[in-house]
Structure 1
Amino acid sequence: MGRSTGRHRWWRPLLGTLLFLPSWIVLSLLLFTVSYGLGTAVGYPELPDGGVDLGPLRNTALDLTYIAIALPLILLAVRWTERRPAGTLSSVTGRLRVDWLAWCLLAAVVPMLLLAVTTALLPDDGAAAGETASWVGWRPFLTSLVVLTVFIPVQAAAEEYVFRGWLTQAVGAFLHSPWFAVLPQAALFAAVHGWGTQWGFIDLLFFGLVAGALTIRTGGLEAAIALHVLNNLLAFGVSAAVVDGLSSDDTAADAPWQLAIADMASVLLFAAIVLRLARSRPPQRLSSPATMPPTSHLPHPPLTDAPAPDGTPRSQTP
């Protein structure tokens, strides 16, 4: 998709990345400054890291917002530096395929339910140390769940658009095979989550590899977004269910080996269900002329779903 308009130049992905990162940092600092100023004015206490303690739920929503603001910035990078429709980052159709996203969300329900049951059966480190997790109560739990349901989809989508979208297309534009573009984004995805445990890093790397493979296999980000959203809803929902759970500094990078293996198994199950769905309800996997802006100066015609004269499919684009 990065080469589909005929405007691709080697420097465009680099320029887009160089513009995106400083812009995201500046906006994050601005958001931090505003939240700090408002929090201090209201009288919230200060955190050891210099921020303001708005409370577990507000702090979590703010942390998710720091990531979510990357979404409009990466779409602008596609539009301004790549000179192509921002929708070409979503899928080969030039838009987010809402119907396919809905099927992928349904496909993620069973794997995430199995993961939730497995998580509940795993030994609790806190219990081993003589501590027990206390139920937070229905009202604060449901309130947290509503807030998380609003913020997590945008946060998870932002990560997918950056890693499985922008980075996959930026690297893939220089490669003959799109499958090699899966490797760099998965490694960076795991790295930006920090280093907690070896198994936590492996779990994140595995997630990035499978999500990247599904992106190429299905021709869009819908499957990766669906898995990421429900996975994060489960993780944050479990934390919200216990007292001070949202205050924990633990992330996916800190997962013990039991949880990492259970999570990787759920990701594999989701991938198997999506691939089965892709055979019965095949999503469009190749770009079509409708995804491209009207131009008469393209050096080569856009890729289509039509087979080549010899009957073989045309090139697949990441």
Structure 2
Amino acid sequence: MTTTPHPHHPPHPAYGAPWPHPPYEPVPPVPAPPLPYHRLALSTGRHRWWRPLAGTCLVLGGTVVVMLLVLLVSEIAGAVLDRPVGKDGFRVWGGIGETGQGLLSLALVTPVVFLAARWAQRRPAGTLSSVAGRLRWRWLGRCMAVGLPLVTASLGVMLLLPEASGGGSDGMEWAGMPDFLLGLAMVCVLVPFQAAAEEYAFRGWLVQAVGAWCRSPWVAVLPQALLFAAAHGWGTPWGFADLVVFGVVAGVLTVRTGGLEAAIGLHVLNNLLAMGVSAAIAGALASDETAADMDGLSVAVDVAMLCGYAATVLWLAGRHRIATVSPKAAGA
């Protein structure tokens, strides 16, 4: 008597009878969904609720340590070179040297943020740069090409405006060629790293730390803008508002373009041009004034520039199909 094979069971190779059970077929794993920029702290599947808190403490503590180390090295070098001691008990390096010291302290925050991502959140440091896991240099170049004429025009208009205090620009004096070249060299070397470090700290670490808990990007974008403005000190209400707008625009561009490139390009250009002009003015680099001290007219010009930059960059990102989510994720 012959046996009719089961329609779903292949015949047994030896006896021509059906297998007692269908052969095992492993179920392929369901791929994790791609993640937007502010959720990249979840990209390795190792997220725990306490990791963003631990990383934030590491960033704050590491920043203090880095600043103290720069100050210590400055004091040792000042003692070796017999620099004079100021009223505060620290060695005096002049406006250019002390500004460079401050810029260097901020620039060294970037490796601290990278270490926090690696040690506290167990994820690649490149996830702080973009959804591609690295800094997209070509996209950064496009953003800077867009921003250069806008920031230049904005700064030019501000220089022509009368200051709110009535001081004007009549008191500006040429710094002299040696001081100008030295100050400009210091600005060109350190400002890109200082501006990028602020973006990695505020639009990078803080946005992704909050994004590890909250799905909405706005919950991640708004707090960092307020903290960014507060970190620059309190000058005028107009200046504080301008810094908040800068933080919001940079945060929105970071989320909508999937990386820090647009924010870094804007920040670098803004600081380079402003401090480059200051290098040409006697004593300007030693001034304590920051963007927090801006007057209402200057803020209006700056906000118009920020909106124009954001609109142009977002249009360009859509045209070039800039990725806004990670191509893959190990876990979510």
TM-score normalised by the chain length of structure 1: 0.88
What amino acid is aligned across from residue 150 of structure 1 in structure 2? Answer: V
What amino acid is aligned across from residue 238 of structure 2 in structure 1? Answer: W
1:2–1:55 distance in 2 versus 1, CA, 3 Å = same
1:142-153 matches, cutoff 5 A: 142-153=181-192
Higher relative contact order (CA 8 A, sep 6+): 2
1:14 paired with 2:53, answer: yes
1:281 paired with 2:320, answer: yes
1:171-210 matches, cutoff 5 A: 171-210=210-249
Shift of 1:259: 1.5
Gaps of 5+ in 2: 1-39
Structure 1 vs Structure 2 CA RMSD: 1.8
Counterpart contact for 1:126–1:133, Cα < 8 Å: no
Shift of 1:124: 4.5
1:28-43 matches, cutoff 5 A: 28-43=67-82
1:104 paired with 2:143, answer: yes
What amino acid is aligned across from residue 175 of structure 2 in structure 1? Answer: V
Runs of 4+ in 1 over 4 A off after TM superposition: 124-127
Gaps of 5+ in 1: 301-318
Partner Cα distance (1:196, 1:128) in 2: 17
Give the number of the structure whose alpha-carbon radius of gyration is greater.
Answer: 2
Q: Identify the residue that residue 242 of structure 1 maps to in structure 2.
A: 281
Q: Identify the residue that residue 153 of structure 2 maps to in structure 1.
A: 114
Provide Cα deviations, 1:81-103, integer angstroms capped at 9, x if missing partner.
11111000100010000110000
Count of aligned pairs? 293
Shift of 1:141: 2.1
Q: Identify the residue that residue 90 of structure 1 maps to in structure 2.
A: 129
1:219 paired with 2:258, answer: yes
What amino acid is aligned across from residue 85 of structure 1 in structure 2? Answer: P
Counterpart contact for 1:126–1:132, Cα < 8 Å: no
Shift of 1:129: 8.1
Counterpart contact for 1:112–1:266, Cα < 8 Å: yes
What amino acid is aligned across from residue 89 of structure 1 in structure 2? Answer: L
Provide Cα deviations, 1:197-254, integer angstroms capped at 9, x if missing partner.
1111001000000000000000000000000000011221121111111111111111
Question: 212-221 vs 126-135, which deviates more?
Answer: 126-135
Q: Identify the residue that residue 73 of structure 1 maps to in structure 2.
A: 112
1:64 paired with 2:64, answer: no
Q: Identify the residue that residue 137 of structure 1 maps to in structure 2.
A: 176
Question: 154-163 vs 21-30, which deviates more?
Answer: 21-30
1:269 paired with 2:276, answer: no
Counterpart contact for 1:179–1:216, Cα < 8 Å: no
Shift of 1:43: 2.2
Shift of 1:143: 3.0
Shift of 1:126: 8.0
TM-score normalised by the chain length of structure 2: 0.84
Partner Cα distance (2:312, 2:176) in 1: 35
Q: Identify the residue that residue 45 of structure 1 maps to in structure 2.
A: 84
Partner Cα distance (2:169, 2:316) in 1: 46
Q: Identify the residue that residue 166 of structure 1 maps to in structure 2.
A: 205
Partner Cα distance (1:260, 1:130) in 2: 18
